[in-house]
Every structure is written in C-alpha cells, then in structure tokens.
Amino acid sequence: MRIGQGVDVHAFAEGRGLMLGGVDVPHPRGLVGYSDADVLAHAIIDAILGAAGMGDIGGMFPSSDPRWRDARSIELLRLAYERVRGAGLSVVNVDATVVAQEPRLAPHIPAMRASIASALEIDVARVNVKATTTDGLGFTGSGEGIAALATVLLE
C-alpha cells in the first residue's frame, strides 16, 4: 500500500469556464491556468503521482510543452494513471475536498465522482468528493479562487 496527497489552487477570472473533476460547472467565472485549470483533477493527479513516487503534475505535464495548453485535465489524469498502472500499481480509493465559497457544488458532486471514476476505470464507490467553504475567510472565502486537496491510496 502506498499513500499520496495532492494540493492545488487556481484563481478565478472572467471569460473562463469552470471545470471541476471533468465536469463543466455553470458559473459566471472560471479558473485560470495553462490547461483547463481543473483544480480538483490536478490535486488528484498529484496525489496519485505522489503515492507512486513519480514526482508531480508539473514534471509530467510541463507548461513549457504546447501539447498541454488548454488540455482537458481529466484526460491528463487518465494519462498519469496509465503511467502508474504501468508500474504495477492501482487505485484503492480517492478522497478529495474542494474548498470554494461559490458556486454551490453539492449538486455537481455525483457527476464529478462519476467522471473521475471513469478516468481511472474504477467503481464510483472508490471515489469520494467533498465540498466545503472557509466561512468567508481567506482567498477562497473572498471568491478569489478555489483550492482542492486529495488523498489517494494505491496498492
């Protein structure tokens, strides 16, 4: 068994779609990043790579490589996990938390879980996604951005 953690943060901006866990969440603002800035997918990628001892998302998908511009991060998750499976490891479970004051994410969590489980080709029961706010405190509370944390167990 090997455990890994991932943390990511992206800032909000006008004129961007909000992609979380491979799900297009309706919201007036989206997150800024080289790829689609899917903060949840990025945290899970880092947790998986961390558990496998394979570095991090920036090492596997460097922003200096034009292939990853506007990439769908749920596809990057699929690619990262392919590499991990190649080393003989597979996911036991994923637990993740999205920290956002808005939008309200509860209605979208089932779709996020399904999307992540599909990318990893595992049962949705092995993927948990939670959403929380910071009661208005800090950069997520003021609506400047969204943070995500993930823990993954591999066997």
Task: Enumerate binding residues for Zn ion (CB under 5 A).
Answer: 8, 42
Q: Residue 137 Cβ, how far from Zn ion at the closest point, in Å?
A: 22
Q: Residue 125 Cβ, how far from Zn ion at the closest point, in Å?
A: 26
**CB of 78 or CB of 92, closer to Zn ion:** 78
Q: Residue 37 Cβ, how far from Zn ion at the closest point, in Å?
A: 6
Residue pointed to by tokens 């003021």: 142
For the record, the structure tokens of 4 come out as 């890994």
Q: Residue 31 Cβ, how far from Zn ion at the closest point, in Å?
A: 8
Please provide the DSSP assignment of 94-140 as one string.
EEEEEE-SSS--GGGHHHHHHHHHHHHTS-GGGEEEEEE--TT-HHH
Q: Which residue is nearest to Zn ion (CB)?
A: 42
Residue pointed to by tokens 């993740």: 96
**CB of 97 or CB of 124, closer to Zn ion:** 97
Report CA dihedral (90, 63, 24, 29) to the nearest 10 degrees. Answer: 140
**CB of 42 or CB of 108, closer to Zn ion:** 42
